[in-house]
């Protein structure tokens, strides 16, 4: 089995994406978008904050969603390559069973949760949707994760989209379909 050497997301128009550690290019891109100074500053801060998370957590790439020319980012995306251990899930069906109930987390409440099998060009995937509220802050985080099982190896590609704006979550879910539709995986020695 060959290993994954590259993942291409084909980011939609309203997204600014970058590989981990290449935040300078993303900062340049968001500075090039016409916006008020405070909005540009919020976008630059979002890129830098996300890039730090990407590096700290060993993620491959990330992106911010900027659909409104006059507003800060509405959401973000992280991309991870993951090799399951011998005792971990190896099929979409096993992962679906493992994720059948939301994880418990003190101080938070799950408002909506679902998992389902899906398919994209790169292979079968498990889609996990969660809307969770924090008791102390009152913040609500909406997330949609796509765990893709590309053919030809054991590595998984995990894309996690998040927003703290529940009103835009449905639109974010539509964006994830576009990203998944254009996801390509390049394997070592395979053209």
Please report which confidence band the pLDDT of residue 153 belongs to, taking 50, 70 and 90 as the band edges.
Answer: confident
Could you tell me where the beta strands, DSSP code E, fall in 42-120? Answer: 61-65, 75-82, 108-120
Query: Range of 152's domain?
Result: 4-187
Q: Report if pTM > 0.75.
A: yes
122 contacts: CB under 8 Å, gap ≥ 6: 148, 150, 157, 180, 183, 184, 185
Residue 144 confidence (pLDDT)? 97
Please report which confidence band the pLDDT of residue 52 belongs to, taking 50, 70 and 90 as the band edges.
Answer: very high
- Nearest in space to 163 (alpha carbons), one of 28, 63, 27: 63
Residue 190 confidence (pLDDT)? 60
- 8 Å CB contact between 49 and 30: no
Residue 182 confidence (pLDDT)? 87
Q: What is the CATH number of the domain that holds 78?
A: 3.40.1000.10
The predicted-structure confidence for 101-133, as pLDDT tens digits, reads as follows 999 989 999 999 999 999 998 999 999 999 999
Residue 3 confidence (pLDDT)? 80
Please report which confidence band the pLDDT of residue 49 belongs to, taking 50, 70 and 90 as the band edges.
Answer: very high
Q: Rounded distance, CA 39 to CA 184, Å?
A: 32
Residue 78 confidence (pLDDT)? 95
Look over the chain and give the mean of its residue pLDDT values, rounded to a whole number.
91
Q: Rounded distance, CA 138 to CA 182, Å?
A: 35
* Residue 183, pLDDT above cutoff 80: yes
* Residue 62, pLDDT above cutoff 70: yes
Count of domains observed in the chain: 1
Token output for 156: 């998984």
The predicted-structure confidence for 77-97, as pLDDT tens digits, reads as follows 999 998 877 777 789 999 999
Please report which confidence band the pLDDT of residue 1 belongs to, taking 50, 70 and 90 as the band edges.
Answer: low
Q: Which residue has the tokens 């084909």?
A: 10
Token output for 14: 């309203």
Residue 181 confidence (pLDDT)? 86
Residue 93 confidence (pLDDT)? 94
């Amino acid at each position: 089995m060959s290993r994954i050497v590259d993942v291409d997301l084909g980011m939609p128009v309203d997204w600014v994406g970058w590989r981990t550690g290449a935040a300078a290019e993303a900062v340049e891109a968001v500075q090039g978008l016409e916006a008020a100074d405070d909005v540009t500053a919020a976008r630059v801060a979002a890129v830098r904050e996300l890039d730090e998370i990407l590096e700290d957590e060993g993620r491959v790439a990330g992106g911010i969603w900027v659909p409104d020319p006059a507003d800060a980012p509405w959401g973000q995306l992280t991309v991870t390559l993951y090799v399951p251990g011998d005792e971990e899930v190896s099929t979409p069906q096993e992962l679906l069973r493992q994720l059948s109930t939301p994880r418990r987390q003190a101080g938070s409440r799950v408002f909506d949760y679902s998992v389902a099998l899906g398919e994209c060009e790169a292979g079968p995937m498990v889609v996990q949707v969660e809307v969770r509220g924090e008791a102390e802050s009152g913040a609500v985080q909406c997330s949609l994760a796509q765990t893709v099982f590309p053919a030809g190896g054991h590595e998984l590609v995990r894309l996690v989209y998040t927003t703290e704006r529940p009103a835009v979550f449905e639109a974010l879910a539509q964006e994830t379909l576009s990203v998944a539709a254009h996801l390509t995986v390049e394997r070592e020695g395979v053209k």
